[in-house]
Amino acid sequence: MTWLNQVVQITLVNLMNVPRRLGTSLVVVVGIAGVVGVLVSVLAMGEGFRHTLASTGRPTRVIMLRAGSDAEMSSGIARDQATVLGSLPGVARDGAGRPLVSAELFVMVDLPRHGQTDPNNVPVRGVQPAAFAIRDEVRIVEGRRFERGVREVIVGRKAAREFAGLGVGSRIAFRDSDWTVVGMFESGGDVHESEIWADAEVAMSAFRRSGFQSVTATLADPSQAGLDALKASIARDRRLSINALREPEYYAKQASILSRLIGVLGYSVATFMAIGATFGALNCMYSAIASRQTEIATLRAIGFGGAPVVVSVMIEALALALVGGALGGALAYIYCDGASLSTLNFNTFSQVAFDFRVTAGLLVQGLVCALLIGAAGGLLPAIRAARLPVTVALRTA
């Protein structure tokens, strides 16, 4: 009998005997399912947060901040500087010749989540009229846009879903004034859906600000040469100390800190759980070997080699691990994919609402993790089974 035939025969016998060891087999399956479920769920949170920020912005737009600032909260742009930025030749114009520029205020207000009383930092963005032409992905889905010069706001769909008092028609109080929610908008699931938008001039008056935090503009030439030309124009003007970034680049940087933190947390928790699952797999496979000592000894006595025994035990361990990994990934997908959550963006210290994203890549990572646990848990028992002397095994039986 060839080596491959021996592996197939022993493996079939092992797998057919799994129902007889259902209890110990379930220890492996459930343990690995828990590891994979936790790993995929935590990483899905990081993937959802990263996707929300990474999907924000277009490469045809730039956001301009004070030089040295890495976030809008730490930036400051004076009115006269915002006017100069809007007049630069690298900025696109609309059909009427007006620059597609929006100088914007970015501040925080305290609002509780639904069913809670503790305040959370919710971002309020004061925008100029061109903001809706610049960000053409913003679409009003309920109500209407705010009117200029009036204390009215529109809210992102995710903000309305997470925080209390943001339904269309409701009134919210911040900065000693009442504001009416007149509309709700979507923007393709990006970070702006976690914001409240208002007229920039009204917001600046209410928050007692004399300048802006950022300026967003559409590039006349979206190529790298166009961006370089705009940066050169800024550098030549001594009145300006401004850094210009494409929007996707800016928001990718905003996502980096928390994404790394979530990744470290997910892999750390999964590692500790994987150690426990590996010991469970070791115990299960040792028990399986102990219960089949006579069977293995008989196979060895009639000519089956030690290597096929090792391979067959490893296949059994990997099969159980694969079932556990698939179960854990399926549970993570069912219960986490699309689930909503809001968390603190450490760059802006504001709440960002996002959806968990269980991607194919994360499920593959989960299965690879499961197979590694199965391999680690099955290797030593497999070697022990192959090395067990036939006479000893028969006497023990």
Considering the domain architecture, whether residues 72 and 132 belong to the same structural domain is answered as yes
Structure tokens at 153: 């706001």
How many Å apart are CA 110 and CA 247, to the nearest integer? 27
Between 327 and 346, the more confident residue is 327
Is there a domain that residue 231 lies in? yes
pLDDT of residue 18: 61
Alpha-helical regions (H) of the chain: 3-16, 22-54, 79-86, 131-134, 157-162, 200-206, 224-236, 247-291, 293-301, 306-336, 360-387, 390-396
Considering the domain architecture, whether residues 187 and 299 belong to the same structural domain is answered as no
pLDDT of residue 316: 77
Residue 247 has pLDDT above 80, yes or no: yes
* Residue 259 CB neighbours (<10 A): 20
pLDDT band, residue 52 (cuts 50/70/90): confident
pLDDT of residue 45: 81
Share of residues in the chain with pLDDT > 70 (%): 79
How many Å apart are CA 97 and CA 79, to the nearest integer? 21
How many Å apart are CA 56 and CA 388, to the nearest integer? 61
Residue 53 has pLDDT above 60, yes or no: yes
Q: CA torsion sign, 43 to 49 to 55 to 61?
A: negative
pLDDT of residue 13: 60
Q: What is the pTM of this model?
A: 0.74
Share of residues in the chain with pLDDT > 90 (%): 30
pLDDT of residue 154: 96
Considering the domain architecture, whether residues 92 and 198 belong to the same structural domain is answered as yes
pLDDT of residue 1: 52
Residue 82 has pLDDT above 70, yes or no: yes
Considering the domain architecture, whether residues 118 and 38 belong to the same structural domain is answered as no
pLDDT of residue 348: 62
Is there a domain that residue 79 lies in? yes
Residue 166 has pLDDT above 60, yes or no: yes
Is there a domain that residue 245 lies in? no
Is there a domain that residue 63 lies in? no
Q: 15-26 pLDDT, tens per residue?
A: 666 666 666 677
pLDDT of residue 117: 81
Considering the domain architecture, whether residues 384 and 267 belong to the same structural domain is answered as yes
Is there a domain that residue 359 lies in? yes
The answer to whether 379 and 299 have CB atoms below 8 angstroms apart is: no
DSSP per-residue letters across 285-348: HHHHHHHTHHHHHHHHHTT--HHHHHHHHHHHHHHHHHHHHHHHHHHHHHHHTT-EEEEEETTT
Mean pLDDT, rounded, for 164-176: 86
Domain that holds residue 315: 3-54+254-396
pLDDT of residue 291: 59
Residue 317 has pLDDT above 60, yes or no: yes
Residue 178 has pLDDT above 60, yes or no: yes
Q: 334-349 pLDDT, tens per residue?
A: 988 877 777 666 666 6
Q: What are phi and psi of 314, to 5 degrees?
A: -65, -40
Is there a domain that residue 248 lies in? no
Considering the domain architecture, whether residues 209 and 350 belong to the same structural domain is answered as no
Lowest mean pLDDT among 12-26, 50-64, 84-98: 12-26
Is there a domain that residue 60 lies in? no
Mean pLDDT, rounded, for 65-84: 89
Domain final residue, candidates 185, 212, 240: 240
Is there a domain that residue 164 lies in? yes
Considering the domain architecture, whether residues 333 and 222 belong to the same structural domain is answered as no
Residue 273 has pLDDT above 80, yes or no: no
Q: What are phi and psi of 262, to 5 degrees?
A: -65, -40
The total number of structural domains in the chain stands at 2
DSSP per-residue letters across 61-106: EEEEEETT-SSGGG--B-HHHHHHHHTSTTB-B-TTS-B-EEEEEE
Considering the domain architecture, whether residues 340 and 380 belong to the same structural domain is answered as yes
Considering the domain architecture, whether residues 132 and 206 belong to the same structural domain is answered as yes
Considering the domain architecture, whether residues 154 and 278 belong to the same structural domain is answered as no
Residue labelled with tokens 């940066």: 231
Q: 365-385 pLDDT, tens per residue?
A: 989 988 888 888 777 776 776
Domain final residue, candidates 240, 272, 294: 240
Considering the domain architecture, whether residues 260 and 374 belong to the same structural domain is answered as yes
Q: 214-245 pLDDT, tens per residue?
A: 999 999 999 999 999 999 999 998 888 999 99
pLDDT of residue 61: 94
How many angstroms separate the Cα of 348 from the Cα of each of 71, 73, 250?
Answer: 6, 6, 12
pLDDT of residue 219: 94
Lowest mean pLDDT among 20-34, 201-215, 304-318: 304-318
Task: State the Cα angle at 351 between 125 and 68, rounded to 5°.
Answer: 65
Considering the domain architecture, whether residues 225 and 89 belong to the same structural domain is answered as yes
Domain final residue, candidates 216, 240, 264: 240
